[in-house]
Amino acid sequence: MTQPPKLPPRSHFTQAARGAVAVLRLALACLCLQPLTSGAAETLTFCYESVDVRPWRTVEGTGLNFDLINAAAAKLGIQIKYEGIPWKRCLSELKANRMDGAFGVSFKTDRLDTGVYPGGSQPDDSKRLFTDGYMLLRNKGSKVTWDGKSIGGLEGAVGIQLGYSVGDQLRSMNIPVDDGSINLRELVRKLVAGRIGAAAIGGSDATYLSSKEPTLAKQFEILPIPLVQKPYFLMLSHQVFDANPERALRFWKAIETERKSAAYVKREQAALQGLAR
């Protein structure tokens, strides 16, 4: 009579089951260590111009821009690493996808190849970091004028900082431009020395110089009508945007929400008032 096959001992089943359970537990543990979304616990690197533009940002990494971006990033569980570098290099690194974002960027059509604005080719002003403008400076006693449409009495070029967008506006008006200045003080000293006929500088920079640099301020005048007022944005690299468009949209929306919050509005107003004291 054929004997039935012998079954493995009970202990063999127990050991196999325990092994399977151990493998399952290990797999579950590994899954738990993975981020729930592609953006969880991620670090993005943003660049900014390595000059002080108060109250928005400083070389040391302080200012309202940092406050706003950090608050928005915290809501999304993203960490931000900042690098202050020369402006043209910042935009170049963004275009090459070596930076994940750049901030303090105004809109220019040719920058659409550099990165992505909130709203794309028609930037959404509500997603801005801040609004600022450019003012025209002239030496005391100069005959330079600006009526909101044309610049008159100019002898020499209008100086700007290297890579600044106001240069395009001036060139479109057939105004000669000197864009050889790396920072604000270099530009203003060039004006005071008579090497340029006027200077176009940021509105907040003009306010800061007038109140905080009295010796220098005695030598120039700020014409009352802004050359231009414009919004400034956080721009993301094409690579970062394409990898997760939904996350990018949530980031810009978080910036809008924080910027409109009562606490931030109060802080911004106090900072702007502090420039003029």
pLDDT single digits (tens) 46-74: 999 999 999 999 999 999 999 999 999 99
pLDDT single digits (tens) 111-131: 999 999 999 999 999 999 999
CA distances (Å), origin 52, targets 133, 184, 208, 215, 271: 16, 9, 10, 19, 14
> Would you state the pLDDT for residue 41?
59
User: Alpha-carbon distance 51 to 232, whole Å?
Assistant: 16
Domains of the chain: residue spans and CATH: 43-130+231-275 (3.40.190.10), 132-229 (3.40.190.10)
Q: Which residue has the tokens 């005391």?
A: 140
User: Alpha-carbon distance 46 to 84, whole Å?
Assistant: 9
